[in-house]
Homo-oligomer: A and B are copies of this chain.
């Protein structure tokens, strides 16, 4: 094991990650991770695992007295079987590296997100990453067939299953998926691959309402020529900012539509996909005569459209450190949700308004406030109150794909089902009794003490506590 030597040198604190730890270890094998964990357990040293450090909720920040365990040297694709359509990768492999390797066999991992170049498979498993294809293929959890993880006692949970059906006892890999390193360190992952389409086509629709967008998505889901790969929505304020920043304009797509919907189809023949978009467009026009649209005629045009949605940096250049939120809203509830949050935010502070965009087909909305961050604590608290109110009760989530980390713990405690919180704590204690695995992430390490001395309020009584974490740049 190398501790802080040249080969394992780490770029501390990039992406805004706060690295308070004095030591960064970068093991190159599962055995080395075990050795680190054993030393830490013996000495009660908390461990903060790190992948590509692209997380947005401070899940890999560290403090003095902790050590950072970076998986970046464990970056080998160990197996890629085109007939099985399965890859076995070490945790530090980036999504892009896996995408490139799979594409050589006409395959793809079935999950995609903008941080593909630095996000690692281990990190994506630990945060249960989402992205643009989740409405179709599920989130990271649904792409994982097996995994290996090092537990708090130094034992290795080894489940390198390469099949989708395995009912041999509790499927505990799902505990490690999305636990943000608090229950174990994911070291190896078996990822399901799908055939990559031979052709794609992309279209942008300007639409009058969420309902119109959902109807358009349903038409695209039933395409004869291919399958829907992305359904990204951008509401006016975001879209016009992005279009202006990129100098994008199209006569056929005026910028004053309430909602813009970017659809991508994958299939065998590009021409057939474009024809299908024409059919979809004419059906949409029949129902919503005010609809507008454009079908990308070239790869370049397609890339230009995708960039409007993917390059959210334009927002943060306009509003440095702008407060960002990441909610899931059941599709039928989105109109009412937006109708509630717009006046709700404006009532907090004159002019306070959201940029809204996201993965409409699965109800995942990204909401960025038009303010330079961080917000004053009382404004932040009020904004969360507006954005998170009743989200769980209506079947949504205050954290869709970004996780909890340390930044959203107070929101989790304020909004979660008390039975779920209690069960989470029992599971955490069962697997990490010393609380050395990424402590104070997802759950506060004193959660059960807090709970026993200060019982949770009932659903009606609970209110959001003050926010003390500050938003940071994406």
A residues near B, CB below 8 A? 81, 83-84, 86, 106, 127-128, 130, 134-135, 138-139, 141-142, 146, 151, 155-172, 174-175, 177-179, 183, 190, 194-195, 198, 211, 214-215, 218, 221-222, 224, 227, 267-269, 272, 328-332, 359, 362-364, 392, 395-404, 412, 415-417, 419-424, 426-427, 429-431, 442-443
Whether B134 lies near A172 (C-beta < 8 A) is: no
Whether A328 lies near B218 (C-beta < 8 A) is: no
Residue in B134, B157, B168 whose CB lies within 8 Å of A392: B168
CB-CB under 8 A from A431, the residues of chain B are: 423, 426-427
Question: From A402, which residue of chain B is reached at the shortest CB distance?
Answer: B167
Question: From A403, which residue of chain B is reached at the shortest CB distance?
Answer: B167
CB-CB under 8 A from A141, the residues of chain B are: 171, 174
Chain multiplicity (copies): 2
Query: Whole-angstrom distance between the alpha carbons of A184 and B369 in the complex?
Result: 41
Whether A329 lies near B163 (C-beta < 8 A) is: yes
Nearest CB of chain B from residue A398's CB, rounded to whole Å: 6
Query: Whole-angstrom distance between the alpha carbons of A417 and B174 in the complex?
Result: 16
Question: From A267, which residue of chain B is reached at the shortest CB distance?
Answer: B224
Whether B156 lies near A328 (C-beta < 8 A) is: no
CB-CB under 8 A from A427, the residues of chain B are: 170, 172, 175, 427, 430-431
Beyond A156-B419, A423-B157, whether A138 also contacts B162 by CB under 8 A is no
Whether A218 lies near B267 (C-beta < 8 A) is: no
Whether A161 lies near B332 (C-beta < 8 A) is: no
Whether A420 lies near B169 (C-beta < 8 A) is: yes
Query: Whole-angstrom distance between the alpha carbons of A134 and B162 in the complex?
Result: 14
Nearest CB of chain B from residue A396's CB, rounded to whole Å: 6
User: Which of A135, A167, A332, A412 counts the most chain B CB atoms within 10 A?
Assistant: A167
User: Which of A135, A171, A190, A421 counts the most chain B CB atoms within 10 A?
Assistant: A171
Contacts A/B (CB < 8 Å), 26 sampled: A84-B330, A130-B164, A134-B165, A138-B164, A141-B174, A157-B420, A161-B396, A162-B363, A163-B400, A165-B328, A165-B401, A166-B399, A167-B399, A168-B404, A168-B412, A169-B416, A170-B175, A171-B174, A171-B177, A172-B424, A174-B175, A195-B221, A224-B267, A423-B430, A423-B431, A426-B430
